[in-house]
Structure 1
Amino acid sequence: MTKVVAITGASNRMGKAALQLFAKRGWTVYGGARRVEKIPTGTNMHALKLDVTDSQSNQQFIKTILDEQQHIDVLINNAGYGEGGPIEDVPIENARKQFNTNFFGAAELTKLVLPSMRAQGCGRIVNISSIGGDVYMPLNSYYHASKAALQQWSDTLDVEVQKFGIRSVIVQPGGTQSSWGAITMDNVRKNLKPDSVYQPFVDGVDQLFNGSTSTITATSADLARVFYSAATDMKTKQRYFNSFGDRLIVRVARAHPKFYRAASTAILNHLVR
């Protein structure tokens, strides 16, 4: 029986690359996104319109796949974005939108697919978090919080469903060659109030970002391969990383929180003068 995978956020970057990789390796792939016209289609590749913040859209997405294939082996919760800005300046409705996309959308889709996975006695939920679920920097508080929530939720889910042959795992990408960071900084500036006292922080973080992107070597194709490992490894890991550097920074932040905070503060203070 052909394996079936459902991937959210499949219209660009990592999600799009993952859709193409799974299809190339013989899977039947369903990609969901709001911009459905940007999802690749072809042999084994199906595009469905999906807004993960809309319950009816989530229900229709899962129902369509089950009606057509009768089973889903893997759900990859990849849809997400960064709602940046100073905590004081970001409207609370924007913070709710961040959680609805990055966390509650994944939670609802998972709840919808679990009954069929339990019935078949196997399944895998792959939740795409970020190293930002453990590390943090100014102006991304709600993004970090949403990814941290996703990780704790995923770990709890994994304990609850293992006895049914289902696993829930986390992928934590670091920086990638994409427009994600630039889009996030655009959101930061949109949320910044006129004459905001946090303008120096924004300029400093923007400088830090622009100075570091040239050293990023990870591509969407690299992350797609990590997604595939997370979906197919016989011996699952609780966390999947693309590089040693990504794994290292998370370990430092977890094991030495005071050191991480001091280092982050020193870097920012150097930039913000």
Structure 2
Amino acid sequence: MSQKVALITGASSGIGKEAAIELKNKGFTVYAAARRIDKMQDLAAKGIRPVSIDVTDDESMIEGVNEILKKEGRIDVLVNNAGYGSYGAVEDVPMEEARRQMEVNVFGLARMIQLVVPNMRKNKYGKIVNVSSMGGKIWTNFGGWYHATKFAVEGLSDCLRLELEPFGIDVIVVEPGGIKTDWGIIAAENLKKVSAKGPYAQAASKTAEGMIKNYTGNQLSKPELIARTIGKAVTVRRPRTRYLVGFMAKPMVFMKNIFGDRAHDRIIKMFG
């Protein structure tokens, strides 16, 4: 049998880039997808195949998937990693931005699944990895729209698992904790831009500064940890339904489950 084919979205940096390298090292034919191919030349040098896909553009997604199917005849693994964090008080975030957050983190993910499933179903084999977050289990200050997307990914994935299991397709959720990428800096900048003035200014500034401190420090897990987790999930015969991994992921979810919502609220307020 020929090499299995993997498609990874959001592969120009961070978790997606490391996952592309990990799967390539495990023997997969890897297609690394992002909006800008020029940001993936280092991956191309490693034998990974860049493909231009914008998960907010339906035509782009259709063309990207069809290009791979035309060349390879199959897509065995889809890693839905594209996403970002839009932070700001729910009152302050423009609905246009709220819709974009949903479009990237939820609808783009779902559309990619719609496009690859027919081929997987025909082959009676597939692994779909949805990169969620511990933020799909817990919440943080001013992350309303971001957490809404990740809670949605969790529920969508559970239903998909039931739908696709009869066809030999596994649906796997990876829930990273704090990971050393630009994600937190971008989210903090969004927060300052949206809620730096008005009634939430003081609390928003405190939260943003705390995020910047965390994401410029040395405590967070490296994206390679998540890449290895994805590599394991798509190569074992029977993967777990969820992989909760990375800095503070298990302790935070455990404490919330044990001590309840109000206690979690107090912990979040304490640290930002």
- TM (norm. structure 1) is 0.93
Task: Give the whole-Å Cα distance in 2 for the aligned partners of 1:172 and 1:59.
Answer: 27
The reply on whether 1:200 has 2:202 as its aligned counterpart is yes
Question: 1:178-212: CA deviations, max 9, x gaps?
Answer: 2211111111122237x411101112112322443
Task: Give the whole-Å Cα distance in 2 for the aligned partners of 1:23 and 1:14.
Answer: 14
Tell me by how many angstroms 1:36 deviates.
1.4
Structure 2 contact 192–205 (Cα < 8 Å) conserved? no
Tell me by how many angstroms 1:262 deviates.
3.0
What residue ranges of structure 2 are gaps of 5+ in the alignment? none
Task: Give the whole-Å Cα distance in 1 for the aligned partners of 2:35 and 2:247.
Answer: 33
Seen in structure 2, the aligned counterparts of structure 1 residues 165 and 67 have a Cα distance that, compared at 3 Å, is same
Partner of 1:2: 3
Aligned length: 267
Question: 1:16-48: CA deviations, max 9, x gaps?
Answer: 111111112211000110121112214541101
Task: Give the whole-Å Cα distance in 1 for the aligned partners of 2:170 and 2:25.
Answer: 24
The reply on whether 1:112 has 2:115 as its aligned counterpart is yes
Partner of 1:33: 34
The 5 Å alignment of 1:1-273 reads: 1-39=2-40, 40-42=43-45, 44-192=47-195, 195-213=197-215, 214-243=217-246, 245-255=248-258, 256-265=260-269, 267=270
Structure 2 contact 11–17 (Cα < 8 Å) conserved? yes
What residue ranges of structure 1 are gaps of 5+ in the alignment? none
The alignment-based identity, stated in percent, is: 34
Structure 2 contact 34–52 (Cα < 8 Å) conserved? yes
Tell me by how many angstroms 1:244 deviates.
7.7
Task: Give the whole-Å Cα distance in 2 for the aligned partners of 1:77 and 1:185.
Answer: 23
- TM (norm. structure 2) is 0.93
SS in 2 for 1:176: coil
Seen in structure 2, the aligned counterparts of structure 1 residues 210 and 53 have a Cα distance that, compared at 3 Å, is closer
SS in 2 for 1:47: strand
Task: Give the whole-Å Cα distance in 1 for the aligned partners of 2:124 and 2:244.
Answer: 27
User: Which residue type is aligned with residue 13 of structure 2?
Assistant: N
